[in-house]
Chain A
Amino acid sequence: MTPTTTRAADGVRPPGGTTPGKATPGTRPAPAAGRRQGRRETLAGYLFLTPWCVGILLLTLGPMLVSLYLAFTDYNLFDSPKWIGFKNFQDLFADDRWWTSVQVTLKYVLIGTPLKLAVALAVALLLVKPRKGQGFYRSAFYAPSLIGASVSIGVVWRAIFNDDAVVDKSMSLFGWDVGGWIGDPDWALPTLITLTVWQFGAPMVIFLAGLKQVPGELYEAAEMDGAGRWRRFRSITLPMISPVLFFNLLLELIHSFQVFTSAVVIAGSGTNTGGPGDSLLVYGWYLYEQGFRNLRMGYAAAMAWMLMLGIGLVTAVLFKTQRGWVHYEEDAR
């Protein structure tokens, strides 16, 4: 193999090369060798990428095309798909339960995400100053993020928010009598939202990493100018961590739109699918129900694409607005 520097692979060929095979550090191979090297690098690149390439074609791009096609068909898994044009989408807009699932999911996302991020940021601020046991607190607060998505925690949530269970009884002690959380259509969704907020540890550690980057001099200078705590938070901390906030927001939103396991487990088992009065009928579950229980694969594919459109729209809006509130270091210079 021709020894060469990696830079030669770019096709950057300086004039007057040395004989290939005898190159020493600092010398570059002849033009022809460079081109050959480039091809060899490309071959090596694709060889290393073979599993990934197969994966993306077989499990991502291919399925995307198929689901796009299915969205315009009537398909039950057994008979061949029948092209029906936009009928699935028309049916969606006329489907009350679809609208319910959209509403439930939007409520979950729009209330849960800001709450979760606020708690994550508050705890991160609490933990940012170096203190004894900081590592312990960081880890302990992070733990729920790991187990929160499991069926087990869904079961636990169901049990502690049950009618007359721990949460209900504790609240009654304070004179706040809801009388059944999961059984009550008005309180089932807030129960699910508390479970999301409970998993604030993952965005918290990202906030912590961001907060550590804020230069201390800024606070000292502001303090000298007589800026109070709140002022310092608003004028220094928030702008300085806005890229991290943006990242967390994006990730949480995309993640929340796809909520499934916790909603299903809290909603209950068997045939009772959407919780009391469909108050826990999240989008992911309704899609599953239509596709895999009712075998309306085309309809579910149309639902999936509407979800993708929704997530794409939210992502696009976020990226559009970030100029207004996300401050990157380079802008300031």
Chain B
Amino acid sequence: MSAASLTVGRRRVRSVIWHVGALAVLAVILYPVVWVIGGSFKPGDQIVGSLQLLPTDPITDNYRRLSDGIADVPISTFFTNSLLLAVGSVVGVLFSCSLAAYAFARIRFAGRNALFTLMISTLLLPFQVLIIPQYILFQKLHLINTYVPLLLGKYLAADAFFVFLMVQFMRGLPRELDEAARLDGCGHLRIYWNIVLPLCRPALITSAIFTFIWSWNDFIGPLLYLNEPDKYTVSLGLKLFIDQDSVADYGGMVAMSLVALLPVLLFFLAFQRYLVEGAATSGLKG
């Protein structure tokens, strides 16, 4: 055997070892996800105690029981509510954050740097400082048990992460574009809408997907502001489920957990490239 083919052979062996190692780590990491999928098709008494990952005879009972609803509220209500909030949040974030980002990135105005610093510093602010006065504000306005408290911030660019993400992206666009448009007589609104926004598509898509997923996963917001089960989101419905049956119905609980995860998992599968790159460039947290 020649020396060259020997190194090729060694490299291949190394590559195989690498893949085996990486897959082994991956198996540990994704175990809980597979566990919940497998568990949702097992009878309740085999879920917790068993070491078996996948069911021997898959059953769909757990899902059938879910369709009866939780606390007299059908599951579809929780889904509609969550979907409404998530879509409403996406629209708000895209609209308000891109407006603010355009101002920070493309308009030179007095006080811009100071306001930008203020915007960035809100990233460090723990939400606990704000929730009590915000709650009092919405309570005084009689907006408890409505979706306004959960949506208002999205329409007022309160998510500094997305403003920052869009600013970074817009700064990368060539200035000549604006200048040419201005010579053609375009104002800021036209430049924003016709030039900058279309070019910002990647940043907008990243923000949209993250907003959807975060809104879907949100727990403390709905926990604070919603108090009638028929207004509950999927997260709260799941919590209701745990509270109600405690440990009695493991099958239903696991099935509901998976159902609650489903949109996020689907989004992840469809947009993983955007999600991973978006996280890498902006430091977004999941």
Contacts and interface: CB of A to CB of B under 8 A. Distances in A.
A326 B45 CA distance: 53
B279 A159 contact: no
B96 to A, nearest CB: 4
A165 interface: yes
Nearest to A3: B183
A104 interface: no
Interface in A72-96: 77
A4 B217 contact: no
Given A156-B36, A162-B48, A199 B286 contact: yes
A205 B153 CA distance: 28
Contact of A269 (B47, B135, B242, B257): B242
B286 A201 contact: yes
Nearest to B259: A152
Interface string A283-299: 11001100110000100
Contacts of B108: 6, 9-10, 41, 45
B182 A3 contact: yes
Contact of A52 (B119, B128, B175): B119
Contacts of B258: 152
Given A5-B179, A6-B182, A52 B99 contact: yes
Given A48-B192, A49-B115, A202-B286, A157 B32 contact: yes
Nearest to A23: B183
B260 A308 contact: no
B156 A58 contact: yes
Interface in B95-137: 95-96, 99-100, 102-104, 107-112, 115, 118-119, 122, 124-137
A205 B238 contact: no
B95 to A, nearest CB: 8
Contacts of A142: 272, 275-276, 279, 286
A304 B129 contact: yes
Interface of chain A: mostly helix, strand, loop or mixed: helix
B147 interface: no
A218 interface: no
A128 B52 CA distance: 34
Given A6-B182, A51-B99, A155-B238, A45 B112 contact: yes
Given A208-B280, A292-B135, A144 B219 contact: no
Contact of A155 (B50, B119, B126, B242): B242
B51 A170 contact: yes
B158 A143 contact: no
Interface stretch (B18-26, B60-68, B69-77, B199-207): B18-26
A152 to B, nearest CB: 4
B58 interface: no
Given A140-B29, A153-B32, A255-B285, A206 B279 contact: yes
A202 B279 contact: yes
Contacts of A300: 132
B152 A209 contact: no
A269 B239 contact: yes
B8 to A, nearest CB: 15
Interface string B225-263: 000000000010011001100100010011001101100
Given A60-B130, A63-B134, A301-B132, A155 B179 contact: no
B283 interface: yes
Contacts of A265: 239, 242
Interface stretch (A106-114, A185-193, A227-235, A256-264): A256-264
Interface string A125-145: 011000111010111111111
A144 B260 contact: no
Given A25-B183, A44-B109, A152-B257, A52 B136 contact: no
A55 interface: yes
A270 B235 CA distance: 16
B22 A261 contact: no
Q: Lowest 9 CB-CB distances: which A-B pairs, in order? A: A55-B156, A45-B109, A145-B286, A63-B133, A48-B103, A66-B133, A52-B100, A52-B157, A42-B109
7 contacts: A51-B95, A70-B132, A159-B48, A198-B32, A202-B286, A269-B243, A301-B132
Interface of A: 1, 3-6, 9-10, 25, 38, 41-46, 48-52, 54-56, 58-60, 62-64, 66-67, 70, 77, 123, 126-127, 131-133, 135, 137-153, 155-157, 159-160, 162, 164-166, 169-170, 198-199, 201-202, 205-206, 208-209, 247-248, 251, 254-255, 257-258, 260-261, 264-265, 269-270, 283-284, 287-288, 291-292, 297, 300-301, 303-305, 307-308, 311-312, 315
